[in-house]
């Protein structure tokens, strides 16, 4: 069961990368996508962590609301 849960989590996270448009915007360059994620991780380790989290949470919620497939109320906090 643990493995199935992890697989589902990885698929959902990949879906978020696609939903954000990163695949098209980077021409599916995985090094660029990983570099961007490493930058996000660095910002989350910084003193401005809370400000970034608040900003990104608002943007993420807006992106979910603007997507008709996500209007079922499945947005997680």
- The two structure tokens encoding residue 45: 């380790």
Asked whether residue 41 is domain-assigned, the answer is yes
**19 contacts 67 by C-beta, under 8 angstroms:** yes
DSSP structure class, residue 50: H
Q: Where in the sequence is the domain holding 11, given as residue range(s)? A: 2-70
Structural domain includes residue 55? yes
Domain-located, residue 76: no
The two three-digit tokens of residue 2, written as one number: 């643990």
Task: Report whether 71 contacts 62 (CB < 8 A).
Answer: no
Residue 75 lies in a domain: no
CB 43 within 8 A of CB 52: yes
Give how many domains the chain has, as a whole number.
Answer: 1
Summarize pLDDT for 8-47 with one digit per residue, the tens.
999 999 999 999 999 999 999 999 999 999 999 999 999 9
First to last CA, the chain: 24
Q: What is the pLDDT of residue 67?
A: 76
Q: Is residue 77 part of a domain?
A: no
Name the pTM for this structure: 0.78
């Amino acid at each position: 069961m643990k493995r199935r849960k992890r697989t589902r989590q990885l698929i959902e996270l990949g879906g978020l990368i696609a939903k954000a448009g990163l695949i098209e915007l980077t021409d599916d360059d995985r090094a660029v996508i990983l570099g961007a994620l490493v930058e996000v991780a660095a910002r989350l380790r910084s003193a401005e962590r809370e400000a970034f989290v608040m900003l990104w949470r608002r943007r993420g919620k807006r992106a979910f609301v603007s997507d008709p497939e996500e209007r079922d109320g499945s947005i997680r906090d």
